[in-house]
């Protein structure tokens, strides 16, 4: 990538880090919610579900607005909204108001994937887009890792809401900086909103987003229950649980960059080679869920969750890279909103289901449930690899085709 490309990637990654610090603070704070409001594991799962419900409800509208008005405006306003939602979570006095606050926070995160993906595919040359996507997606795991240390660390020396207030301050500052520094020749669209009916007629796209339903179930449930599981089942402190969650995010970041690079350099048709990388990540996730289910000690848990993070948190950049081989460039805002809606829809039901299994049969059964979920996703991805899309010129092409 040239200097201009690196500047764009650095800017959008910084935005993504700040946004993810705000959003994923909720996942790191699940033990504090349980103590502060006297919640069961199922009720903790409902907090995560409500957060992702807000995300899911607003994804398609915000994706359409991104295509219509451009990513500069939507990403700036989205980050301001995330900072506001983070403050509301910190100030919630009751469980009901906590649910309302996390819904607001989740809704504002709906600007992230459509906007940041549009930045990459509007500004980065083909042949470098998959690496750029992998680096940009490190902002998600990086921000989540920072939030895990921020929330659990400050709670030990101040109070559990302190990390949320710091996250809100970071989000506000980055929002101003992004608005002033980012510019794109693409701007907004002039042809109205994306044609979602055309996307639904694309069988490869539908199969990929269906797989995303199962992949998202595994990802969000893993991040939502890691700290709680390490505290309750392994018997470690909440601070150690925060370190384990941060390791999950660090190794997820490595997975995103490495698989993005592989998606650029491996030979073969883009849809096939990138799809095979995503299948390998899904099967690796299934295997590691089985390993986590059998882990008992602190060191073993740290290692097992780190490797799990490489696979289950490392796939999102590749997921959207596959999507870019299935749809046109002018559909990317709406298409990625639909893809992220599928990911978050899995998170609407999986965390409470995981919590129910953990309450009724133990954590081992709950982790094996997630292993089955990602195995189903791998089967759907095989169909994507074998089915060419009805698109003559997709958003992502080989550099030799341009």
Judged against a pLDDT cut of 90, whether residue 28 lies above it is answered with no
pLDDT for 70-95, tens place per residue?
Answer: 777 888 888 999 999 999 988 888 88
Q: Let me know if residue 396 belongs to a domain.
A: no
Confidence of residue 399 (pLDDT cuts 50, 70, 90): very low
Confidence of residue 376 (pLDDT cuts 50, 70, 90): very high
Q: Let me know if residue 157 belongs to a domain.
A: yes
Q: Let me know if residue 48 belongs to a domain.
A: yes
| Mean pLDDT in residue range 227-234 | 83
- CATH code of the domain in which 78 resides: 1.20.1250.20
Structural domains in the chain (count): 1
Q: Let me know if residue 349 belongs to a domain.
A: yes
- The pLDDT of residue 338 is 79
- The pLDDT of residue 188 is 52
- The pLDDT of residue 392 is 59
Judged against a pLDDT cut of 90, whether residue 283 lies above it is answered with yes
pLDDT for 297-354, tens place per residue?
Answer: 888 889 999 999 999 888 877 888 888 888 876 666 677 777 877 887 887 778 788 8
Judged against a pLDDT cut of 60, whether residue 9 lies above it is answered with yes
- Distance of alpha carbon 113 from its chain centroid, rounded? 8
Q: Which residues 6+ apart lie within 8 Å of 318 measured at CB?
A: 130, 133, 134, 256, 259, 260, 263, 274, 277, 278, 281
Q: Let me know if residue 188 belongs to a domain.
A: no
Q: Which residues 6+ apart lie within 8 Å of 75 measured at CB?
A: 15, 111, 112, 115, 116, 119, 178, 182
Backbone torsions φ then ψ of 93, nearest 5 degrees: -90, -15
pLDDT for 174-213, tens place per residue?
Answer: 988 888 888 765 555 544 555 667 777 788 889 999 999 9
- The pLDDT of residue 185 is 53
- The pLDDT of residue 6 is 80
Q: Let me know if residue 246 belongs to a domain.
A: yes
Distances (CA, A) of 6 to 11, 125, 132, 184: 8, 11, 9, 14
**Which structural domain, as residue segments, surrounds residue 201?**
3-182+193-390
Prediction pTM value: 0.70
Q: Let me know if residue 139 belongs to a domain.
A: yes
- The pLDDT of residue 195 is 61
d(CA 138, CA 246): 13
d(CA 342, CA 321): 16
| Mean pLDDT in residue range 100-128 | 80
Q: Let me know if residue 401 belongs to a domain.
A: no
């Amino acid at each position: 990538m040239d200097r201009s490309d690196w500047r764009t990637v650095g800017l959008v990654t910084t935005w993504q880090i700040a946004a993810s610090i705000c959003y994923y603070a909720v996942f790191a704070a699940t033990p504090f919610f349980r103590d502060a409001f006297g919640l069961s594991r199922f009720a903790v799962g409902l907090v995560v579900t409500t957060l992702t419900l807000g995300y899911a409800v607003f994804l398609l509208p915000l994706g359409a607005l991104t295509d219509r008005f451009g990513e500069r405006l939507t990403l700036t306003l989205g980050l301001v909204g995330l900072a506001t939602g983070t403050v509301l979570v910190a100030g919630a006095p009751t469980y009901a108001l906590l649910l309302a606050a996390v819904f607001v926070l989740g809704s504002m995160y709906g600007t992230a994937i459509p906007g940041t993906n549009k930045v990459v595919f509007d500004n980065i040359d083909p042949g470098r887009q998959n690496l750029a996507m992998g680096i940009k997606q490190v902002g998600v795991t990086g921000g989540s890792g920072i939030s895990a240390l921020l929330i659990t660390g400050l709670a030990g020396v101040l109070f559990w809401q302190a990390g949320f207030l710091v996250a809100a301050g970071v989000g506000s500052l980055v929002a101003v900086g992004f608005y002033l520094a980012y510019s794109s020749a693409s701007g907004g669209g002039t042809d109205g909103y994306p044609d979602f009916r055309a996307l639904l007629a694309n069988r490869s796209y539908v199969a990929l987003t269906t797989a995303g339903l199962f992949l998202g179930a595994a990802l969000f449930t893993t991040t939502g229950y890691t700290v709680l599981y390490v505290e309750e089942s392994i018997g470690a402190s909440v601070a150690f649980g925060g370190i384990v969650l941060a390791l999950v995010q660090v190794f997820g970041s490595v997975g995103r960059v490495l698989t993005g690079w592989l998606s650029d350099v491996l030979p073969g048709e883009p849809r096939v080679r990138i799809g095979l990388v995503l299948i390998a990540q899904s099967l690796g996730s299934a295997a590691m869920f089985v390993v986590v289910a059998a882990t008992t000690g602190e060191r073993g848990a740290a290692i097992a969750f780190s490797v799990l993070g490489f696979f289950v948190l490392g796939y999102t950049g590749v997921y959207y890279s596959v999507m870019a081989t299935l749809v046109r460039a002018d559909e990317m805002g709406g298409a990625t909103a639909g893809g992220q809606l599928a990911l978050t829809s899995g998170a609407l039901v999986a965390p409470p289901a995981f919590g129910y299994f953990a309450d009724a049969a133990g954590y081992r059964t709950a982790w094996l449930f997630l292993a089955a979920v990602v195995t189903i996703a791998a089967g759907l991805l095989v169909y994507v690899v074998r089915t060419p899309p009805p698109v003559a010129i997709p958003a992502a092409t080989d550099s030799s085709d341009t």
